[in-house]
Amino acid sequence: MSKSWYSRINELELKDGSTKIEHHLVFETDSKEIKKKVESFFESIMDEEENCEWIKYDYRTICPINHDANNPYWRIPENTDKLKYCPYCGKEIKIVD
């Protein structure tokens, strides 16, 4: 079974003058299992970027992981089922264990 990989980074200048960095990772393998693991890993990374992860702070409240969890103003009652987006960063809330 042959396996190989390489990566490269490109910095692109956009029309508005800002820059964007592209990351390319190329891997070659005969194994479908390795392919699935790599895809799953990258999907989880991209999911982290799109979501704000929250945890159960105690039996009745949730709080964001990446904000100051010890600040009582960050904690929100868990039964707030209409709360879809983090009021602090605007990303979609994802409750993790």
pLDDT 10s digits, 31-86: 889 889 988 888 887 766 788 888 887 777 788 888 776 676 666 765 666 778 88
Q: Which residue has the higher pLDDT, 1 or 28?
A: 28
Chain-centroid distance, C-alpha 22: 17
Name which of 25, 20, 35 is nearest 5 in CA terms: 25
Full residue range of the structural domain in which residue 60 is found: 3-95
pLDDT 10s digits, 82-96: 778 888 888 888 888
Name which of 71, 18, 20 is nearest 10 in CA terms: 20
Kindly report the pTM of this predicted structure: 0.45
Q: Place 21 in a pLDDT band, splitting at 50, 70 and 90.
A: confident
DSSP symbols for 23-69: EEEEEEES-HHHHHHHHHHHHHHHHHHHEEEEEE-SSSEEEESSS-T
